[in-house]
Amino acid sequence: MAKKKTTKRRAAPKKRAAKKTKQAGSTRRKPARKKALEGNASKRKAPAEIGATKLSTPPPCPDSVTGPGVELWQKLARRLVELKLLTDLDLEALEILCDAWRRYQELAPFTTAETMFVITDRGYVVEHPAVRLRQSAINTMSKIWRQFGLTPLTRESLDIDLSSEDDDDLLKFASMRPT
C-alpha cells in the first residue's frame, strides 16, 4: 500500500493595514504675507521675509531670451509687476520660463500627428526625439508657472485676481487641466 503524501498548507499571508490617506485640503505653508494679514493664532515665530526688492517697472528682456520667449517676457514681466509679484530674485526663474516657452514653440512642428513618429534605418517606428524635448519644456514651464502663481490653484492660494488679464495663449495653456 502506498503511503499517502501529505502536503503542508501555507499560512495565509497577513493582511496589511490599509495606508492612511491624506484628507482633502493642503498642508502647505501659508505665505508670510497672508499669515501677517490673518494674524498668528499659534503665536509661533513667523518666518523671516527674504530681502527681495519688488520691481516697480518691468525689467528689460535679457539677451539670452530669444524668439517667442521675448514676447512672453514682455507680457509676463508687465503683468507680474502689476500684481506686485516680481522681485529682483525672480528674474532668473522668469528667464528659464521664457526659454522653455521658446523651446516648446520651436518644437511644435515636430510633434504633430504626421511627424510625431519616425522610421529608423532598420525599419522600426519610434517616437521623434522632439516629442520628449517638448514634454521636458512643458514640465519645466508647469513647475515655474506654479511659482509665479500662473495656475488656478496657486492663484487661489495667493489670493491673486487675474480678471483683467489679456487673452493670452500662455495663460490659457497654463490654466488647462492635463488630460
State the pLDDT at residue 20: 55
Between 46 and 10, whose confidence is greater?
10
Average pLDDT over residues 128-147: 92
Average pLDDT over residues 118-137: 92
Query: Is residue 31 included in any domain, yes or no?
Result: no
Query: Is residue 65 included in any domain, yes or no?
Result: yes
Query: Is residue 13 included in any domain, yes or no?
Result: no
State the pLDDT at residue 83: 84
Query: Is residue 41 included in any domain, yes or no?
Result: no
Average pLDDT of the chain?
Answer: 79
pLDDT level of residue 179 (50, 70, 90 thresholds): very low
pLDDT at 162 over 60: no
Query: Is residue 152 included in any domain, yes or no?
Result: yes
Query: How far out from the chain centre does Cα 96 lie?
Result: 13
State the pLDDT at residue 153: 82
Query: Is residue 85 included in any domain, yes or no?
Result: yes
**45-67 residue pLDDT tens:** 766 666 778 889 999 999 999 99
First to last CA, the chain: 68
DSSP states of 50-108: P-PPBPSSPPPPPTT--THHHHHHHHHHHHHHHTT--BGGGHHHHHHHHHHHHHHHHTG
**80-113 residue pLDDT tens:** 898 888 888 889 999 999 999 999 999 988 888 8
Query: Is residue 173 included in any domain, yes or no?
Result: no
Kindly report which listed range (63-77, 131-145, 165-179) carries the lowest average pLDDT score.
Answer: 165-179
State the pLDDT at residue 31: 67
Neighbouring CB atoms inside 10 A of 156's CB total 10
Query: Is residue 33 included in any domain, yes or no?
Result: no
pLDDT at 23 over 60: no
State the pLDDT at residue 102: 94
Its domain, for residue 101, covers: 52-161
The domain tally of the chain equals 1
